[in-house]
Amino acid sequence: MLLEVRDLHVEFHTREGVAKAVNGVNYSVAEGETLAVLGESGSGKSVTAQAVMGILDMPPGKIAGGEILFKGQDLLKLKAEERRKIRGQEMAMIFQDALSSLNPVLTVGEQLGEMYVVHRGMSRKDARAKAVELMDRVRIPAAKERVGQYPHQFSGGMRQRIMIAMALALEPSLIIADEPTTALDVTVQAQVMDLLAELQRELNMGLILITHDLGVVADVADKIAVMYAGRIVETAPVHEIYKAPAHPYTRGLLQSIPRLDQKGRELYAIKGLPPNLLRIPPGCAFNPRCPMARDVCRTDVPPLYEVDEQRRSACHFWKETLDGR
Ligand SMILES: Nc1ncnc2c1ncn2[C@@H]1O[C@H](COP(=O)(O)OP(=O)(O)O)[C@@H](O)[C@H]1O
Ligand code: SF4
Ligand SMILES: [Mg+2]
């Protein structure tokens, strides 16, 4: 397995108390596989990814337990320098906001080329040629002419392509894309997502795709992990989850996707808000919002039940949910 996160716990020590942002997350990504991580804002998707990348804010963040196995090696046990090496060459991250991730005073060619100068010891001239090659690869038109331009001279979609190019530069085996298309308009979103999926297949990389939008991952992900209040509440192969969710929260997310064939119908929204992580409700964290909640849900934390070999659901009533009751 390329990446295996095991029983990961991350806390934030704040003035108000300890926020349990990640509470025992397990997920895995194989080479050439795409895992979509889904959930409302504040569910711990980014914090989990930052822990994998080794870029958590510590303090206030603290890894309170678990393992992060990358090619069989626990990253949490590595020395800072070994960790940095893996982060630089073997993993890369794409963020939502390219404008704040790119350096405004360097041309895109300089920034892309820098990867090769620093990590591969290339000359500036060769690095520039590589930068043009990368820009071609992410289909930025007129790459040769535009390699000397600054980030602000590109459109949002093109900037996101530059971010993808930066991530691909050293041909990492794992890419984490955190809401890579959220800031783009809908048509551009689909183009960037398709490009990412295509390059991922070509290079046989593992891809973790973080999003709050179930609508954008259906065509590109192999499997989905749904997060709620710092836990995975359902994992399944992508098509199965769309056919029949085994967790009421997933069902709610699915029902809140706008559908073209149902124009004009009022969009469903899950009632209420995600819990405050300083005070996660006892029992199932979703119980105050769940239309199926019963007494046991308010007292007993549901374990991740095995639905079948490839599916898990943290709901006491997963069977009924799966049957559509
Ligand atoms: N730098 C930080 N300081 C304190 N708390 C944080 C910090 N970053 C994240 N958190 C906590 O972790 C929770 C999960 O955040 P995050 O993983 O960013 O959610 P999302 O699923 O939207 O990516 C937040 O709701 C917040 O309580
Ligand atoms: S365990 Fe209970 S509250 Fe939680 S999702 Fe299932 S039915 Fe709803
Ligand atoms: Mg996030």
How far does the centroid of ligand 2 lie from the alpha carbon of residue 41, in Å? Answer: 20
Q: What is the pLDDT of residue 255?
A: 86
Task: Assign 313 to helix, strand or coil.
Answer: strand
Distances (CA, A) of 116 to 54, 110, 119, 291: 22, 10, 5, 54
CA atoms within 13 A on the CB side of 166: 25
At CB < 8 A and 24+ separation, what contacts does 118-121 make? Answer: 119/88, 119/89, 119/170, 120/170
Question: What's the whole-model pTM score?
Answer: 0.93
CB-CB neighbours of 246 under 10 Å: 28
Which residues face 149 on adjacent strands? Answer: none
At 275 the pLDDT is 93
The owner of tokens 């300089």 is: 110
- Regarding the beta carbon of 302 and ligand 1, being less than 6 Å apart is answered no
pLDDT value of position 261: 59
Quickly tell me which residue has 């183009």 as its tokens. 191
Task: Please indicate whether residue 206, judged by its CB atom, sits closer than 6 Å to ligand 1.
Answer: no
Residue having the nearest C-alpha atom to atom 1 of ligand 2: 315
Residue 252 CA: which ligand is closest? 2
Helices (H), the chain: 45-53, 80-89, 98-101, 108-120, 124-137, 143-146, 156-168, 186-203, 238-243, 248-255, 318-322
**Token digits of residue 35:** 């895992």
pLDDT of residue 189: 86
Q: Identify the segments of the chain with pLDDT beneath 70.
A: 258-267
pLDDT at residue 259, rounded to an integer: 63
DSSP-assigned letter for residue 49:
H
CA distance 310 to 222: 12
| Residue ID of nearest Cα to ligand 1 atom 18 | 46
* Cβ burial, residue 122 (10 Å; 0-12/13-18/19+): middle
pLDDT at 263: 57
Asked if residue 208 lies in contact with residue 233, where contact means CB atoms within 8 angstroms, the answer is: no
CA-nearest residue, atom 3 of ligand 2 = 287
Ligand 2 atom having least distance to the Cα of 316:
1
User: Which residues approach ligand 2 with their CB closer than 6 A?
Assistant: 247-248, 284, 286-287, 290, 292-293, 297, 302, 315-317
* Kind and range of the H or E run holding 70: strand 61-70
Question: Each residue of 141-194: pLDDT tens digit?
Answer: 999 999 999 999 999 999 999 999 999 999 999 999 999 988 888 888 888 888
What's the 284 CA to ligand 2 centre distance in angstroms? Answer: 6
Structure-block tokens of residue 213: 């939008």
